Structures are given as C-alpha cells and as structure tokens.
Structure 1
C-alpha cells in the first residue's frame, strides 16, 4: 500500500496469464495484417483481366482433363471387350475338350 500512494512509485506487476498474452499477440498480428491490407493499392484493370484470364484457362484445362479421362476409360473398356471376345474365340479354337465351335464328328456306321 505504501508503494501505491507515492506519486512516482511503481508497483510490481504480476505475471500475466499465458493465454491472455497469446490472445493479445494474436490481436496485434491481426491488426497489423488489416493495416497492411488497407495500405495496399487497388488492383489495376490489367491485373483484374489477368486474373479472369487465369480462371478461364483453369476451367478449360479442367474440362479438357475430364474429357481426356473419360475418353481414356472408354478406350480401355473397348479394348478390354475386344480382348475378351478374342480370348473366347481362341479358347474355342484351341480347346480340344469343348466341341462348341469344332466340326461335328460323324457317328460310326452301324454295319461294317
């Protein structure tokens, strides 16, 4: 109490809570960033046009990538179907046990 009553006296400050300190630092950083954003100049017409052009090109590339993936998957399916049908044909041709595609055998004559 004696320190507080003196005109130029300083009292010892208690240590601050770490959460309060972190909060105050965060507020300060937010303030600085907002201040920098206010100081920036307005974007020029050319920058706006470039930004729009980049977005347009990005959309076209995305559409092109999607269409390429669709066409590649369709080509894969087509190749797979042709390959399986070809394998079925070869299996019928080379498999001696199955008579589905082979020439029919004639029955043996009854009287010889």
Structure 2
C-alpha cells in the first residue's frame, strides 16, 4: 500500500542543542535591539537645520519673483492689447 504525502504536512526537525538554541535567541535579541536603535530618529545637526531654513527662504523668494514676473507679463500683454484695439487705433487722417 502506498502512503500519500500531505502537501502541507509538517516535517520532523532534528533536536537542536541547548547551546545553539541559546545562541540563536541571543542573536535575535541583539538584532532586535540594534534595529530599535537604528529606528529611533536622531536629532538633526544645527548645520542641517540652518540649511533647511535657508532652503525655505530661497524657495519663498523664488516663488515671489516668479509671481511678480507673471503679473508683469500679464500687465504688458494687457497694455499691448489695449493699444491695438480698434477704438484706440490712430487712423492718420
């Protein structure tokens, strides 16, 4: 008679020595502690904080300049449009 193997059956694991088991548990705990230390957010250096503030200031200034340039362009286009409207054309009579 042929015995069918179950696809998800458990296989027997050899008994592990106590020293190896303790060593494995110690390694797991060490890795866990090291991961926790790495995951803690570190306080940024003052130089990075200063650089971030400067970057924000530069970004705000660039935004203001681009907004002013856009307004100037629309103003100029409007003035040109007003100049060439038929009511303001000089006919030369």
For Structure 1 versus Structure 2, the TM-score category normalised by the shorter chain is 0.5 to 0.7
Cross-structure match for 2:28 = 30
CA pair 81-29 structure 1, distance change in 2 beyond 3 A:
same
Gap runs ≥5 in structure 1: 1-13, 17-23, 37-51, 106-112
1:85 corresponds to 2:86:
no
Structure 1 or 2, whichever has the larger Rg, is 1
| TM-score, with length taken from structure 2 | 0.52
| TM-score, with length taken from structure 1 | 0.44
Aligned pairs for 1:1-112 (under 5 A) are 14-15=12-13, 27-33=25-31, 55-96=45-86, 99=87, 102=88
Query: What secondary structure, in the 3-state scheme, does the structure 2 residue paired with 1:86 have?
Result: helix
Instruction: Report the Cα offset of residue 95 of structure 1.
Output: 2.9
Residues 34-59 of structure 1, C-alpha deviations (whole Å, 9 max, x = no match)? 798xxxxxxxxxxxxxxx8x710000
Instruction: Report the Cα offset of residue 62 of structure 1.
Output: 0.3
Would you say how many aligned residue pairs link Structure 1 and Structure 2? 65
Gap runs ≥5 in structure 2: 1-11, 15-21, 35-42
Cross-structure match for 2:8 = none
RMSD: 3.6
